[in-house]
Amino acid sequence: MKLGRTKYWWFWPNFYDAEDAHDGAKMGVVACAIIAGVTGLTSTYSYYMDSNIYGLLGGMIIVLIYAPLGYGIFKMSRVASSVALILFLGEKSYTFYVQGKSQGIALLLIWYLVQANRAIYWFNREQKKNRGDI
């Protein structure tokens, strides 16, 4: 654990240097990996149980979307972090309000994506300050 970080740093991270921002962005990478992994596993399981090819194809498309978004978040891309958050919020809003399904771990993943957005936007703002763009 880095000096100056509180025990619950992951809950609301403070960013003082680039390392803090990279650690905060890793929260988004983890969220994208979990989203892609669980979606891939559940769609494959659904295919083998129900022979639902459309569910399998949809699941693989989700995997192909979130894997590059996770990589973009790792590379501190504002576009990738914003798109991942908006897509996940939209999908979870639909499943909750329209389908009436429980969200389970989705709230934690949303929290991780929000923290990744905070980290990446802070990092990019600091990079502009250091270059003299602001």
pLDDT tens-place string over residues 97-106:
887 777 888 8
Query: Which pTM was predicted?
Result: 0.84
Q: Say yes or no to pLDDT of 57 above 70.
A: yes
Query: How far is residue 49 from each of residues 32, 42, 60, 95, measured CA to CA in Å?
Result: 26, 10, 17, 22
Mean pLDDT for the stretch of residues 38-50: 91
pLDDT attached to residue 134? 58
Q: Residue 47: how many CB atoms within 10 A of its CB?
A: 17
Q: Where are the domains of the chain?
A: 19-131
Q: Say yes or no to pLDDT of 18 above 90.
A: no
pLDDT tens-place string over residues 114-125:
999 999 999 999
Q: Can you tell me whether residue 46 is helix, strand or coil?
A: helix
Mean pLDDT for the stretch of residues 75-94: 93
